[in-house]
Structure 1
Amino acid sequence: MALELFLAFLAAAILISLSPGAGAVNTMSTGLRYGVKGALPAIMGLQLGYGLQVVLVGVGLGALLSQSQLAFELIKWFGVLYLVYLGYQKWTQATLNLEVQAGVNESRSRQFWQAAFVNLTNPKATVFLLALFPQFVDPLAANQALQYSIMGSTLIVVDILVMVGYASLASVLSRWMKSERHQKLQNRIFGAMFVAAAGLMASYSHKTA
């Protein structure tokens, strides 16, 4: 991949990651509750889901979602329901003593897989990658797999850095979240944001892909 083409793709990758979405909401919610270090399992979970999306596109299953209305709708609505479920969980979540981080280790696995499903059940990401990758791939080159690997790795590295930034911002805000009242407020804000993300996903039409 030529340097100029890679830099253009890198700029696109940064804009994609900076765009607020369910992944950013999940990361900020976790970072606010557990801090940057505690949010790392969730961030890595997002990358697993993201990486699987890249693989789906790379092996051609992304084309199935772009052509099959049924497959697209099934995955989309599963993702919508999952985000609504996360919103309900967050809305009803118990307050936490932020001075005591006990129990964080026990929830790392859950945070990881929850975040992975947030990205994995977003068909918009698959269709978007399907539209993005061909703009930067040289169809005449023999190293198609290498080109996809470079782009996929770039997307994931950029997303990790951006998500760490989101978690850091949320962690800084945690100083204002010591009281039970403020914690309840942030739980409801993030719960509403998850549901809003579900609404955006539900409104995404297969015809626009």
Structure 2
Amino acid sequence: MTTSVWLAFLVAAVLISISPGAGAVNTMSSGLRYGVRNSLPAILGLQLGYGAQILLVGLGLGAIMASSAWALVVIKWLGVAYLVWLGWKKWHEKPVTSGDTENASEAASRRFWQSALVNLTNPKATVFLVALFPQFLHAGEAHGEQLAIMGLTLIVVDCVVMLGYALLASQLFRWMTTPEKQQLMNRVFGSLFVAAAVALASFRRA
């Protein structure tokens, strides 16, 4: 892969990551409640799910799934149900204090796997990657190496962008000085999870 092609792919990767979606909502929700450092498990969980999607596409399974209407429908509605459930949990989440780090540590594993499922149950990612990768693959070079470079680029860029989202959300905690304001923000993010579910439910493969 030439430098010019990689730079073009890098621009595409940045645009993909900064586009608001379920992953961004999940990261901002975690950043708001736990701060940047304790949001790392959630961010890494998203990357596990993203990496699994990239691996599936790289192995060719993603293309098979993208061509199977039944498989996409099943995955889509699993993702919709999961996002609605996350929204319901966030809506009813209890207010916390800025010193509530013990619960954050105890919940790190749970937030990691919860976030991984957010990306694993997103068929839009599979379809998008199936459409994206061929645009940057050079027929005369080893596909495995090119896919590895693109996959690593996507994950690194997404990590940086999600850290930015977590940092932005963590600053809102200074404004959340009362339980009432925290409850309001919980309900805002709960509604955003449900909105992401609605967006996923309306997804139709082109």
- Structure 2 length as normaliser, TM-score? 0.98
**Matched residue, 1:71:** 71
Shift of 1:177: 1.2
- Counterparts of 1:149-188 in structure 2 under 5 Å? 149-188=148-187
**Matched residue, 2:194:** 195
Shift of 1:24: 0.3
- Counterparts of 1:38-187 in structure 2 under 5 Å? 38-141=38-141, 143-187=142-186
Shift of 1:160: 0.3
Q: How many residues align?
A: 206
Shift of 1:15: 0.3
- 2:184 & 2:117 partners in 1: Cα distance? 25
Q: Secondary structure at the match of 1:173?
A: helix
Q: Secondary structure at the match of 1:104?
A: helix
Q: Which runs of 4+ in 1 moved over 3 A?
A: none
**Matched residue, 2:32:** 32
- Counterparts of 1:4-43 in structure 2 under 5 Å? 4-43=4-43
Structure 2 letter corresponding to 1:43: I
Shift of 1:103: 1.4
- 2:196 & 2:145 partners in 1: Cα distance? 33
Query: What's the C-alpha RMSD, in Å, of the aligned pairs?
Result: 0.8
Q: Secondary structure at the match of 1:64?
A: helix
Shift of 1:193: 0.2
Shift of 1:101: 1.9
Contact 1:46 1:118 in 2 (8 A): yes
Shift of 1:100: 3.1
Deviation track 1:34-67 (CA, whole Å, cap 9, x = no partner) reads 0000100000000000000000100111112221
Deviation track 1:104-148 (CA, whole Å, cap 9, x = no partner) reads 11100000000000001000001000000000001232x110000
- Structure 1 length as normaliser, TM-score? 0.97
- 2:179 & 2:139 partners in 1: Cα distance? 57
Shift of 1:74: 0.3
- 1:15 & 1:7 partners in 2: Cα distance? 13
Q: Secondary structure at the match of 2:97?
A: coil
Structure 2 letter corresponding to 1:27: T
Shift of 1:162: 0.3
Shift of 1:97: 1.7
- 1:154 & 1:17 partners in 2: Cα distance? 11
- 2:64 & 2:78 partners in 1: Cα distance? 17
Instruction: Give ranges in structure 1 of 5+ residues lacking alignment.
Output: none
Instruction: Give ranges in structure 2 of 5+ residues lacking alignment.
Output: none
